[in-house]
Amino acid sequence: MTPSKQEILHMAAECFMEQGFHATSIDDVARRLGATKGRVYHHYPSKIELFFDVHRAGMELLFSAVEPASKLEGDGITILTAMLHAHAMAVLEHHTFESVVAQGVQMHRFGATTPTQRTILDELINSRDQFEAMFKKAAMAARKDGTLANVDISVAVKTLLGGIQWSLIWYRPEADTGPRSRRVLADQMVKTLVDGVKARAEGATRSARGAKAKA
């Protein structure tokens, strides 16, 4: 049976995550599918075009997860927290695709590509920049309403997103026990990150200063 384009993307994402772009071949993807490489070439004329489509699918998954959270009602830090939680869940649930997105960022910085490939990669990275801009907008709103500390927005957002992206290195899907465990993990990740940039109540700040003075 001819594998669907979606099946090819899923298997390719697994191969790229496990072996990296350069070490992965169309043959590897075909073997994972239990098909001939001709079945893959029917949809994708080259490995890099397949890689780009996996990257594109990974970004679409992130946007579809975070955009609804960005439209919730509440103060700034509540919305930012909801967006970060949606992002974390998307990374945990679509680990293979998001690993390819991370590889694409590295390829954009250091990879040798043709001018045509570079144009496509620029478009994909621009999508990543738009994703980051959503969080910057939410962070600016949170700082404006006083629920976010007076931090550098760009640095704060890059740090928050980077903290979630780092889970691509240490998260082990094989140890996952299901959706609930992913939600708990996402809660813990986001709380740790947001607590570092959340505005402190004035009373708590005075208490901390008083305790420091007594010490």
pLDDT in tens, 7-28: 999 999 999 999 999 999 999 9
**22 Cβ neighbours under 8 A, 6+ residues apart:** none
- Please list the residue range(s) of the chain that carry CATH number 1.10.10.60: 1-45
The predicted structure's pLDDT at residue 209: 45
- Please list the residue range(s) of the chain that carry CATH number 1.10.357.10: 54-200
The predicted structure's pLDDT at residue 24: 96
Q: Please give the model's pTM, rounded to 2 decimal places.
A: 0.86
> Per the CATH hierarchy, to which homologous superfamily does domain 1-45 belong?
Homeodomain-like (1.10.10.60)
The predicted structure's pLDDT at residue 74: 96
> Per the CATH hierarchy, to which homologous superfamily does domain 54-200 belong?
Tetracycline Repressor, domain 2 (1.10.357.10)
Question: Hey, what are 134's tokens?
Answer: 């959503």
Q: How many Cβ atoms are within 10 Å of 36's Cβ, its own excluded?
A: 13
The predicted structure's pLDDT at residue 1: 59
The predicted structure's pLDDT at residue 69: 98
CA dist 149 and 2 (Å) reads 54
How big is the chain, counted in residues?
A: 215
Query: Phi/psi zone of residue 20: left (φ > 0), alpha (ψ -120 to 50 degrees), beta?
Result: left
End-to-end CA distance of the chain: 73
CA dist 149 and 76 (Å) reads 11
The predicted structure's pLDDT at residue 201: 67
Q: DSSP letter string over 73-134?
A: -S-HHHHHHHHHHHHHHHHHHTHHHHHHHHHHHHHHHH----HHHHHHHHHHHHHHHHHHHH
Question: Which regions of the chain are under pLDDT 70?
Answer: 1-2, 112, 201-215
